[in-house]
Amino acid sequence: MNKILKKAFFSSNVVYFEVEAPLIAQARKAGHFVLVKVGTNGERIPLTIAASDTTKGSISLVVQRVGVSSAKLCALNEGDYITDLVGPLGKATHIEKYGTVLCAGGGVGVAPLLPIVEAMKKAGNKVITILAARSKELVILEEQMEANSDEVIIMTDDGTYGKKGIITAGIEEVLLRERVDMCVTVGPAVMMKYVALLTKQYNVPTMASLNTIMVDGTGMCGACRVTVGGKTKFVCVDGPEFDAHQVDFDEMQMRLGSYKEIEQKAMNQYLT
């Protein structure tokens, strides 16, 4: 049982939690994630650790309310307990001094991108961060990104904040302007697919952090499998980061949508 120390709303559907987890806070590195369960028979949700505080013994998680399980988690308040929290899981991000690193995050993918931005900056890279959202109220962690980046570019679909346009427009603007040695992208599968297609044209090595369905988180169940370079990989133990130019994003998207109808039914039941 892990106590919720702080809860804040980034938007009506995106919640920030600071959760007591001293051992995970000490052990975690950029790229690591946890599996969270609400209720004894609850579904397990993978969430990347956005930040940690070893003095307080806490980790920060950002949750988007998309289905019943995330809705149950978002309904918890400060002082409540999360039934199960397991981690840190996955492989840590490979951090080195590449030169110029372009970090591109969309939606709540910006949360897992934050520790990567921090680590890339700490390693001595020039970090250009692009944050993309549908509109102004969905742009998150801007201040924290500013503190760890040489430049932050905001893109909104409707133009209510930053520049109007999708993430690839912001990326291409940078790629046309200067040399980029590494790109890291986190966000919806379709977004990462198009980021990868674009950076491939410019021969920029690209890492994508994948967020698939997960059950055990230890490489046993196969729920998180993806195809990378024609081979089956498990996101929970082989990832979550992979060479974006090798990931079969269409297959990943199809697998992510397999339970849509059941999820919708469950959500309707939960709301009634």
175 three-class SS? helix
For ligand FES, which stretch binds (CB under 6 A), given 72-80, 159-167, 209-217, 242-250?
Answer: 209-217
Size of the site for ligand FES (CB under 6 A): 12
- Comparing CB distances to ligand FES, the nearer of 42 and 219 is 219
- Considering only 107, 112, 187, 217, the residue that binds ligand FES (CB under 6 A) is 217
- Considering only 99, 124, 159, 222, the residue that binds ligand FES (CB under 6 A) is 222
- Considering only 138, 191, 224, 226, the residue that binds ligand FES (CB under 6 A) is 224
Which element (helix H / strand E) includes 18?
strand 14-20
Task: Tell the smallest beta-carbon distance from residue 227 to ligand FES (Å).
Answer: 14
Task: Tell the smallest beta-carbon distance from residue 213 to ligand FES (Å).
Answer: 8
260 three-class SS? helix
Are the beta carbons of 73 and 35 closer than 8 angstroms? no
Residue 215, amino acid: V
Which element (helix H / strand E) includes 136?
none
Bridge partners of residue 155, in order along the sequence: 132, 163
Task: Tell the smallest beta-carbon distance from residue 166 to ligand FES (Å).
Answer: 30
- List the interface residues with ligand FES, window 49-68 (CB under 6 A): none
> What are the phi and psi torsion angles at 83 (to 5°)?
-60, -50
**If you ran DSSP here, which 8-state letter would residue 55 be given?**
T
- Comparing CB distances to ligand FES, the nearer of 35 and 82 is 35
> Does residue 216 belong to the site contacting ligand FES (CB under 6 A)?
yes
- List the interface residues with ligand FES, window 228-247 (CB under 6 A): 234, 236
For ligand FES, which stretch binds (CB under 6 A), given 57-65, 123-131, 188-196, 217-225?
Answer: 217-225
> Does residue 256 belong to the site contacting ligand FES (CB under 6 A)?
no
Bridge partners of residue 126, in order along the sequence: 100
- Comparing CB distances to ligand FES, the nearer of 220 and 254 is 220
Q: Calculate the CA 209 to chain-centre distance.
A: 7
> Does residue 221 belong to the site contacting ligand FES (CB under 6 A)?
yes
Give the C-alpha separation, 76 to 78, whole Å. Answer: 7
- Comparing CB distances to ligand FES, the nearer of 148 and 211 is 211
| Residues flagged as binding site | 62-64, 221, 224, 236
Q: What is the sign, positive or negative, of the torsion defined by CA atoms of 175, 177, 182, 187?
A: negative
Residue 95 CB neighbours (<10 A): 19
Tokens of 111: 């949360």
168 three-class SS? helix
Task: Tell the smallest beta-carbon distance from residue 41 to ligand FES (Å).
Answer: 18
Tell me whether the omega of the peptide bond preceding residue 188 falls within 30 degrees of 0, making it cis.
Answer: no
- Comparing CB distances to ligand FES, the nearer of 207 and 236 is 236
**Residues lying near ligand FES in the complex (CB under 6 A):** 214-217, 219-224, 234, 236
